[in-house]
Amino acid sequence: MAVPLVYNLRSIKVRWASTSVAVLGIAGAVAVFVAVLSLARGFELTLVESGSPRNALVRRAGASAEMESVVTLEQVRIIADAPGVARDRSGRPLVSAEVVAIGPFRHRASASEALAQVRGVSEEALRIRDNLRVSEGRFLRPGLAELVVGKNAAVLYEGFSLGESPRFGGRTWKVVGILDASGSAFDSEVWADARVLNQTFKRPEYIFQSVTVRLESPEALPAFEKALKADPRLTVQVDREDRYYAKQSRVVSTLIRVLGYLVAGVMAVGALFAALNTLYSALAARTREVAVLRALGFSPRDVVFSWLFEALVIALLGGLLGDLLVIPLNGLTTSTINWQTFSQIAFAFRVTPELLLRGLLFALAMGLVGGLPPALRAARIPVAAALREL
């Protein structure tokens, strides 16, 4: 017969002071664990959602990022005529040739200069991408020094709100629109007209750095890539857009993960010690209780389960508390530098139910490991000797 669970619950309530120490320790470890995972997840999702499986990103062969690539106007035309490229109703290929640059802008939060990615585009940039729209104002007009600013960039940098006139690259611009890119990396970018940007940065007018192509379907990619590789006029590499962005996220998310796991791991060991200490101390104070239970006829196995249950309840409380602490972080936007593009990228914590569940499992594992040794010791208490202490 099992020891009634109410016994454990009451005992936790009575010893709330020492229990809360173990609960807090576990909660801290769980909170750090889940927070770190949601940070890494948020960063990954921001970049992954920037790309679409239906788009292909074409760069010069060998260039690991857009910034290092060069594509001429002639090459853009050849790419647009390749098989598998989707066309609009009037038969125009859906292809966007783009230029990227980095501008040092005044970062509001740190009150110093931060680097932002500036993308030179044409109207096609919006047409080939899903989830992108101008939420306020209008799109920029070709040939003018106008900017459309991603909604995160508008918050991150001083002077980039709608209607303002920021200066960079030696000229004054006008912000005519705010871009809503549904949380993807484009939300951190500043968009300008490609030719105007090239003039500003003293580059040839018809040189681009990447060509993004809308394909008829994701399956059209291999044929498209083969056609480009076979063309002697091109030396390019082709990536599925979402894979290109996923690859970009790797360095930062690995960094966050490794450091986070390390810190959470060490904190877990600390929490384990707190749990063990609490339970051992509880055991020392409750030796007589255990002996009474045994004298009443509960078997050593019942005692082990009873103690383990208590440990798991403490761990669960800690896990829940830790999860609760992290939930408010969901959606909180922060920014860091993305080493692949050398520019700031804003991203949000994504606290998903799956991560919360992992936090709870982590807590239960701590409870199990921390509860077992005291439980086993409780079961081995010599009944007669313990009762004599009474």
For another protein, the binding residues (CB under 8 A) are 17-18, 20-21, 24-25, 28, 31-32, 60-65, 67-68, 101-104, 107, 109-110, 112-115, 168-170, 201-202, 235, 247, 250-251, 254-255, 258-259, 262-263, 266-267, 269-271, 273-274, 276-278, 280-281, 284-285, 334-337, 342, 344
Smallest gap from Cβ 262 to another protein, in A, equals: 6
Answer whether 106's CB lies under 8 Å from 158's CB: yes
Within 10 angstroms of residue 83's Cβ, the number of other Cβ atoms is: 12
- Supply the angle between the helices 250-285 and 353-379 in degrees, to the nearest 10: 30
Within 10 angstroms of residue 311's Cβ, the number of other Cβ atoms is: 28
CA distance linking residue 347 with residue 370, whole number of Å = 36
3-state SS assignment for residue 265: helix
What kind and span of H or E run contains 306? helix 300-326
3-state SS assignment for residue 66: helix
Q: Judged by CB, which is closer to another protein: 30, or 132?
A: 30
**Residue 190, strand partner residues:** 118, 149
Smallest gap from Cβ 128 to another protein, in A, equals: 25
Smallest gap from Cβ 183 to another protein, in A, equals: 17
Q: Judged by CB, which is closer to another protein: 182, or 334?
A: 334
Q: Judged by CB, which is closer to another protein: 59, or 129?
A: 59
Smallest gap from Cβ 366 to another protein, in A, equals: 13
Smallest gap from Cβ 259 to another protein, in A, equals: 6
Residue in the block written with tokens 């004054």: 172
Q: Judged by CB, which is closer to another protein: 5, or 269?
A: 269
Answer whether 376's CB lies under 8 Å from 303's CB: no
Q: Judged by CB, which is closer to another protein: 102, or 383?
A: 102
